[in-house]
Structure 1
Amino acid sequence: MTSTISTRARLREVRYEIRGELARRARELEAQGRELIKLHIGNPGAFGFRAPEHLQAAVAARLPESDPYTHQQGMPAARDAVAAHYRRRGVAGASAEKVFVGNGVSELIDIALRALLNPGDEVLLPAPDYPLWSAATILNDGVPRYYACTADDGFLPDPAAIEALVTERTRALVVINPNNPTGASYPRALLERLVDIAARHGLVLMADEIYEDILYDGAAFQPLAPLAGEVPCVSFGGLSKVHRACGWRVGWALLSGDPVRGGDYHHAMDLLGALRLCANVPGQHAVEAALGGPDTIGALCAPGGRLYETRRAVVEACAASPWLRLHAPQGALYAFPQVVGAAAEGFDDHAFALELLENEGVLIVPGSSFNIARRDHFRITLLPEAELVREVFRRIERALDRHVSRLPARDVA
């Protein structure tokens, strides 16, 4: 007699629709010969972007040296470069000893939470969040507690509402800035209030800043660690987005703040890093070149640049639609439109995303996949060319028109 292999029960609590059911259906359609426009992943290489040539050259030149394991926290040269980067950002005490290099930020998020959480400990997360944060919290036996970031507030949180969620089990406060999926960029005054909450309640700050230099229309990026001072803060960055090298799987984390208070936590992260031996070695050779070399992202985000012009196309399409409202993204690689008006009647974001895929050949991510209760948003990436995005929104508009046409007359009115 055979039986199915049982799996971990907590996996049933994990959502990752970015690569989930809709993406699986897209692969089935492609296998049938359908041509799809896939806007569900912020994957620059899939849209023709390349890692800058000086990064490629740095890896190629040092490839013969890349066969052995390196230190579990990362290569000394890479960690030195990361520490220098944060010192330039205003973190006076940043040192290579407090830097961890990982196989992308995703691995480091898991390590940082696993080193911190005991069963039942709570983590404050933005809603919407990047769902890896929720998944890593759950799978490390923690409990996500969500603070709302709504379109009406520019997708910025209310510090008082965050503080109201703090309990004796709260261990960490997560900030994603610039934000995925909304594109919000957090102002200094707001971040200072979040630091104050963490200081008074003994929380660890976790700052996901992977999109730090991807900004539009004069938006500013304020790193969290310089404001945190002695409050323990883990700042995450990497090569994937700003430097368009997702597949290289190189991320980093800096632990800043009071070294005495953070000493045991540092040792725990070091132990977990040692258990996975080390991060990808070839890609680490690019870190110094990336952080000490020329700016290769600014022109893409400025008027005339590819990311800027695609963002402009999204903003204009939403402004012209009777069914869409958009808080224009200030940073990152995404837009998070909201369905409004008659189209919001009976609207279900997942059903809409499936209908759009099946009938219009466009793959998007439902907004509820980002751990919000509302079902009236969706996320697209800004990586395609502007003209392709204009075509996408023509298809979205057709799908929304069909939805409205199916409503009872009283709802349309």
Structure 2
Amino acid sequence: MTAATLNPLVTNLASPPIPAVQAWGKSYDGSRGELIDLSQAVPGYPAHVNMLQWLGEAASSLAYTNYGPIEGETVLRQTYAAHVSELYDAAIGTGNVHITSGCNQAFVCASMVTAAAGSTVLVTDPFYFNHETTLSMLGINTRTVRCDASEGFVPTTDAIHAAMTQDVRALALVTPNNPTGAIYPANRLQSIFDLCRELGIWLILDETYRDFLPDGAGAPHGLFSNVDWQGNLIQLYSFSKSLCIPGHRLGVITAGEAVVNEIAKIMDNLQICPPRAPQAAVARALPELAEWRARNRLEIEARAKALHQVMDGLNGWKLESVGAYFAFVRHPFEGRVSAEVAEQLAKRVGVLAIPGEYFGVEQTPFLRFAFANADITTISQLRERLGGFNLSPDSITLG
């Protein structure tokens, strides 16, 4: 008898990186204080009490125990369309909105609707690792667009041109960026969108962290004001961060109505409908918790400033990019892979961070800090822990 085989597009992938990094922290002995977890991007403060109440009310209602619309609850689609229209000063309708179970699922849908197996999607280098693995599992090839520290890790149109091949169907960008925190300027995004139209490819724009732009930044971009935006733009967003409900898994796609209709075919096979009770709660929360979200934006900005102060002149550590939830930090151990650095940071001084090479093979000089997880007091402890950390050959114990 011959044993059955599994799909190599899945089995050839590495295990999920976040659990692997968090496992390193279990070896930390607590000698430097409590573990500082800068690994996974989760809100560092709880959901609003009203949010919890609305979730409970919806979850206990018989109205949400049956299947719902594939595209999402009408009340949330209407509320979100109005929200996006106001934010971007554009006319977005209910038909442009498709609710998903988290933003990762939104990216799965965007990838499947734009690119077939064997075609190519461009991603930035560094890239968000779940985007790259999603494409790999779908049999979609990836090519990378180089993003240099000297450019603030923001892609240029020249770099996109250099990465183009005949089989490219889409360009996937994340702004504010995961992992670097880089915020792509509105004029750069417009230039990139114009290039995508010229090349006849889709721009998949993941704006999961747009609620944490600097105070007073205004609209993230003006792409929805282009009269023909529906032919080349698919925008992704997550309710997880600003409403502090990552466990309830709600994301959203904003796209042309023709794209939304096609995505409904995908979603009917993936999940039939997104979770219904959280949709009802979020529809209430979007308008009613606007001031609370604005205060949280200021808190995250204060944490970013605190990290700037901590990293200033710190023994060769360099803050290369920071914004929204993330900082991309150059470690001082030249020639040492960042997985080694991150593992020893976790085990010896109790700081969890994601190695740079998880975001691309060229990113080994860096670590990603998800600083929004930690309050200012906790962030201040990093100076002593990083400053006293030495990765010398005779002190390495890899496990």
Scaled by the length of structure 2, the TM-score of the pair is 0.88
Is the alpha carbon distance of 1:53 and 1:94 closer, same or farther for their aligned partners in structure 2, counting shifts above 3 Å? same
Q: Where do 1:257-406 residues align within 5 Å?
A: 263=258, 265-275=259-269, 276-293=271-288, 294-302=290-298, 305=299, 307-330=300-323, 332-339=324-331, 343-382=332-371, 383-399=373-389, 401-403=390-392
Amino acid at match of 2:22: A
Q: Is the 8 A contact 1:324 1:337 kept in 2?
A: yes
**Alignment-derived partner of residue 110 in structure 2:** 112
Please state how far the C-alpha of 1:35 moved relative to its aligned partner.
Answer: 5.9
- Taking the aligned partners of 1:12 and 1:59, their CA distance within structure 2 comes to 37
Q: Is the 8 A contact 2:203 2:234 kept in 1?
A: yes
Match status 1:247 vs 2:247: yes
Amino acid at match of 1:7: L
**Alignment-derived partner of residue 62 in structure 1:** 58
Is the alpha carbon distance of 1:254 and 1:351 closer, same or farther for their aligned partners in structure 2, counting shifts above 3 Å? same
- Taking the aligned partners of 2:382 and 2:155, their CA distance within structure 1 comes to 30
Is the alpha carbon distance of 1:297 and 1:150 closer, same or farther for their aligned partners in structure 2, counting shifts above 3 Å? farther
Is the alpha carbon distance of 1:60 and 1:345 closer, same or farther for their aligned partners in structure 2, counting shifts above 3 Å? closer
- Taking the aligned partners of 1:163 and 1:16, their CA distance within structure 2 comes to 32
SS in 2 for 1:241: helix
Is the alpha carbon distance of 1:20 and 1:60 closer, same or farther for their aligned partners in structure 2, counting shifts above 3 Å? closer
SS in 2 for 1:141: coil
- Taking the aligned partners of 2:77 and 2:272, their CA distance within structure 1 comes to 16
Is the alpha carbon distance of 1:18 and 1:227 closer, same or farther for their aligned partners in structure 2, counting shifts above 3 Å? farther
- Taking the aligned partners of 2:213 and 2:15, their CA distance within structure 1 comes to 26
> Greater shift after overlay, 225-234 or 198-207?
225-234
Q: Is the 8 A contact 2:87 2:219 kept in 1?
A: no
Amino acid at match of 1:360: V
- Taking the aligned partners of 2:55 and 2:20, their CA distance within structure 1 comes to 36
Q: Is the 8 A contact 2:127 2:179 kept in 1?
A: yes
- Taking the aligned partners of 1:288 and 1:185, their CA distance within structure 2 comes to 27
Please state how far the C-alpha of 1:403 moved relative to its aligned partner.
Answer: 3.6
Please state how far the C-alpha of 1:121 moved relative to its aligned partner.
Answer: 1.0
Amino acid at match of 1:268: E
Please state how far the C-alpha of 1:365 moved relative to its aligned partner.
Answer: 0.4
SS in 1 for 2:322: coil
- Taking the aligned partners of 1:301 and 1:405, their CA distance within structure 2 comes to 44
Amino acid at match of 2:350: G
Is the alpha carbon distance of 1:368 and 1:361 closer, same or farther for their aligned partners in structure 2, counting shifts above 3 Å? same
- Taking the aligned partners of 1:220 and 1:398, their CA distance within structure 2 comes to 40
Amino acid at match of 2:132: S
Amino acid at match of 2:316: W
- Taking the aligned partners of 2:392 and 2:305, their CA distance within structure 1 comes to 26
Mark the runs of 5 or more structure 1 residues left unpaired by the alignment. Answer: 407-413
Match status 1:24 vs 2:23: yes
Please state how far the C-alpha of 1:17 moved relative to its aligned partner.
Answer: 5.3
**Alignment-derived partner of residue 175 in structure 1:** 173
**Alignment-derived partner of residue 411 in structure 1:** none
Give deviations 1:340-389, integer Å, cap 9, x for gaps.
xxx34222100111111222222210011112413110011122122222
- Taking the aligned partners of 2:303 and 2:82, their CA distance within structure 1 comes to 33
Is the alpha carbon distance of 1:50 and 1:335 closer, same or farther for their aligned partners in structure 2, counting shifts above 3 Å? same
Amino acid at match of 1:288: A
**Alignment-derived partner of residue 213 in structure 1:** 211
SS in 1 for 2:143: strand
Is the alpha carbon distance of 1:13 and 1:176 closer, same or farther for their aligned partners in structure 2, counting shifts above 3 Å? farther
Amino acid at match of 1:336: F
- Taking the aligned partners of 2:11 and 2:353, their CA distance within structure 1 comes to 23
| Percent pairwise identity | 22
Please state how far the C-alpha of 1:173 moved relative to its aligned partner.
Answer: 1.2
Of 184, 187, 201, 2:185 maps to 187
What is the number of equivalent residue pairs in this alignment?
Answer: 386
Higher RCO (C-alpha 8 Å, min separation 6): 2
- Taking the aligned partners of 1:133 and 1:139, their CA distance within structure 2 comes to 10
- Taking the aligned partners of 2:74 and 2:133, their CA distance within structure 1 comes to 31
Please state how far the C-alpha of 1:12 moved relative to its aligned partner.
Answer: 4.9
**Alignment-derived partner of residue 124 in structure 1:** 122
Q: Is the 8 A contact 2:126 2:179 kept in 1?
A: yes
- Taking the aligned partners of 2:86 and 2:8, their CA distance within structure 1 comes to 45
SS in 1 for 2:362: coil
SS in 1 for 2:243: coil
Amino acid at match of 1:38: D
**Alignment-derived partner of residue 9 in structure 2:** 10
- Taking the aligned partners of 1:372 and 1:93, their CA distance within structure 2 comes to 41
- Taking the aligned partners of 1:345 and 1:181, their CA distance within structure 2 comes to 20
Please state how far the C-alpha of 1:108 moved relative to its aligned partner.
Answer: 1.3
Please state how far the C-alpha of 1:27 moved relative to its aligned partner.
Answer: 4.6
> Greater shift after overlay, 88-97 or 376-385?
88-97
Q: Is the 8 A contact 2:88 2:219 kept in 1?
A: no
Q: Is the 8 A contact 1:186 1:221 kept in 2?
A: no
> Greater shift after overlay, 389-398 or 151-160?
389-398
Q: Is the 8 A contact 2:185 2:221 kept in 1?
A: no
Please state how far the C-alpha of 1:240 moved relative to its aligned partner.
Answer: 0.5
Match status 1:43 vs 2:32: no
Q: Is the 8 A contact 1:17 1:365 kept in 2?
A: no
